[in-house]
């Protein structure tokens, strides 16, 4: 066993549910997706711990909401220093649990570190009090932002520290206690993150960790004391969360869901730029990003040449173990057996639907046995709204080209799925970009940059089935507070209301 899980974290310390004390409700073991012979850890789950974790978060909320902004900022900065110290070990854990290359895992940790400064310097400004003079005679107005209460953050496997921590840190900055439930695929990475919060010296109960499966999440989010729920993951799981919470109007649910993102390549595009950007957007993280490019509408006059060059580059991609390798890889394996089976299922689906296969996605053998696959490239003659392959999120290294003649057709293709997370366009004419901004239904639309070019100083979220209008990024903190308005009468002697009739004072 490479790693040791310490269990759940509440009331300021870890509590390990030892297997010999009582039979667990469920046990999970995790193999490294890049080397199935390496067992990373074993976890024992007991659902009865929910009461203690929620109790801890409620107690922490009462302390933390009264803490000054200066102290909140100082404590978050101490957390940042702890992450810097643990950066190498956290990067290794991410690489081994997710399968993403070590170099990519390191970029996740340093993105996390940089986001702390953005939250302190920019997000915090969004929730500072606002004051308005003389809204009416003798009366000033005030707007305050108050913490909503204990928040449950359900993290994804693909960015197990960075995405979840943006939500955690924003909730904390706003004055909320948190319960972090990492993906059961990346429990050790989640533990290391919470260790950093522990070492930063947050008050008891403010930081809590719940290790377990989807059932554990369901039990926590149904608790009346939980006021904020932040989830990043699949559309199906997001719908289940809404089904379990819709009756409780005191809960704010912020969902960041999937995508079937498009990148339009016009006939006047810079081909070398588009090739570089799309290789990254389609295949980085083995295509396991909600913001990955899946569909490329490409001008009919250029598609044959472009696809040939794209295919040649894709064949050079190094796919190997994230840490133990001869040549540093661009791609590691998929995250688990289910992801592998799902990817291969879609490969067969494309063939059955008559979509041309340019590069076959298949299971690869490497020195270490794992869930390695090759990238896949397909060509569809047109968009078919009845195609499961073209309309569903595959969450694997796949790219499908669809020729178009006019920009209106490309925009229609981009709008043809139930998702609306991200889109991009490659062109020398900025008018094409402005047209896309007006007509494509997406939360992010980039010009001469791929769909994975998100920036934490901007909102990040989608429309349609890609989210529920609570974007991440700099605006995450907006979902961690409620607005409190107040009127202050400062000149009571001159306060008269001539509009009131029928009564004498």
Q: Quick check: is 290 catalytic?
A: yes
Structure-block tokens of residue 163: 């995405």
Do residues 306 and 265 make contact, with C-beta atoms less than 8 angstroms apart? yes
SS3 447: strand
What is the C-alpha to C-alpha distance for residues 493 and 490, in angstroms, rounded to an integer?
A: 9
Can you name the residues that pair with 27 across neighbouring β-strands?
44
Residue 235 backbone dihedrals phi, psi, to 5 degrees: -60, -45
Separation of first and last alpha carbons in the chain? 80
SS3 467: strand
What is the C-alpha to C-alpha distance for residues 279 and 273, in angstroms, rounded to an integer?
A: 10
**Beta-carbon neighbour count of residue 407 at 10 Å?**
21
Do residues 266 and 432 make contact, with C-beta atoms less than 8 angstroms apart? yes
What is the C-alpha to C-alpha distance for residues 319 and 326, in angstroms, rounded to an integer?
A: 11
What is the C-alpha to C-alpha distance for residues 333 and 140, in angstroms, rounded to an integer?
A: 60
B/e letters for 63-79, b = 16+ CB within 10 Å, e = fewer, are ebeebeeeebbebbeeb
Type and span of the H or E element at 13: strand 13-15
**Beta-carbon neighbour count of residue 32 at 10 Å?**
23
Type and span of the H or E element at 29: strand 26-32
Please list, in sequence order, all residues whose beta carbon lies within 8 angstroms of the beta carbon of residue 494, skipping any fewer than 6 positions away.
137, 138
- Among the listed residues 184, 256, 277, 409, the single catalytic one is 256
What is the C-alpha to C-alpha distance for residues 276 and 265, in angstroms, rounded to an integer?
A: 13
Do residues 389 and 342 make contact, with C-beta atoms less than 8 angstroms apart? no
Q: CA neighbours within 13 Å on the CB side: how many for 126?
A: 21
What is the C-alpha to C-alpha distance for residues 377 and 307, in angstroms, rounded to an integer?
A: 9
Q: Quick check: is 256 catalytic?
A: yes
- Among the listed residues 161, 282, 290, 480, the single catalytic one is 290
Give the residue numbers annotated as catalytic, written as ranges: 256, 290
């Amino acid at each position: 066993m490479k790693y040791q899980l310490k269990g759940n974290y509440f009331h300021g310390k870890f509590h390990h549910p030892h297997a010999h004390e009582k039979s667990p409700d469920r046990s999970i073991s995790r193999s490294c997706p890049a080397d199935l012979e390496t067992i990373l850890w074993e976890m024992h789950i007991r659902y009865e711990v929910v009461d203690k974790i929620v109790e801890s978060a409620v107690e922490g909320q009462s302390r933390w909401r009264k803490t000054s902004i200066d102290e909140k900022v100082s404590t978050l900065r101490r957390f940042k220093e702890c992450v810097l110290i643990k950066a190498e070990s956290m990067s290794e854990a991410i690489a081994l649990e997710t399968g993403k290359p070590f170099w990519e895992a390191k970029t996740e940790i340093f993105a996390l570190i940089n986001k702390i400064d953005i939250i302190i310097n920019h997000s915090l400004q969004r929730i500072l009090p606002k004051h308005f003079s003389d809204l009416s005679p003798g009366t000033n107005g005030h707007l305050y932002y108050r913490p909503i209460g204990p928040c449950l953050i359900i993290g994804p496997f693909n960015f197990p520290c960075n995405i979840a921590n943006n939500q955690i840190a924003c909730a904390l900055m706003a004055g909320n206690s948190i319960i972090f439930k990492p993906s059961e695929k990346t429990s050790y990475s989640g533990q290391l993150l919470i260790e950093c919060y522990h070492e930063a010296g947050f008050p008891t109960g403010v930081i809590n960790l719940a290790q377990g499966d989807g059932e554990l999440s369901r039990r926590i989010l149904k608790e009346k004391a939980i006021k904020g729920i932040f989830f990043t993951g699949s559309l199906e799981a997001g719908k289940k969360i809404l089904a379990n919470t819709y009756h409780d109007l005191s809960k704010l649910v912020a969902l960041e869901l999937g995508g079937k993102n498009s990148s339009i390549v016009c006939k006047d595009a810079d081909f070398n730029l588009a090739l570089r950007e799309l290789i990254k957007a389609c295949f980085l993280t083995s295509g396991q990003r909600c913001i990955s490019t899946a569909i490329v509408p490409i001008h009919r006059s250029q598609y044959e040449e472009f696809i040939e060059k794209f295919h040649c580059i894709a064949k050079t991609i190094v796919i190997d173990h994230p840490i133990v390798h001869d040549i540093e890889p661009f791609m590691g394996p998929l995250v688990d057996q289910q992801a592998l089976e799902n990817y291969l299922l879609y490969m067969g689906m494309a063939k059955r639907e008559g979509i041309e296969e340019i590069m076959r996605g298949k299971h690869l053998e490497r020195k270490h046995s794992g869930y390695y696959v090759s990238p896949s490239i397909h060509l569809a003659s047109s968009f078919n709204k009845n195609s499961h392959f073209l309309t569903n999120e595959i969450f694997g290294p796949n790219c499908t080209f669809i020729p178009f003649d006019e920009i209106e057709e490309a925009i229609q293709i981009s709008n043809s799925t139930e998702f609306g997370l991200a889109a991009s366009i490659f062109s020398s004419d900025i008018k094409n970009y402005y047209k896309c901004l007006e007509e494509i239904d997406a939360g992010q639309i980039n010009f001469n940059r791929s769909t994975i070019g998100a920036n934490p100083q901007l909102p990040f979220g989608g429309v349609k089935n890609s989210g529920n209008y609570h974007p991440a990024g700099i605006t995450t903190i907006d979902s961690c507070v409620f607005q409190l308005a107040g009127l202050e009468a400062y000149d009571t002697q001159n306060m008269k209301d001539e509009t009131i009739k029928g009564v004498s004072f």
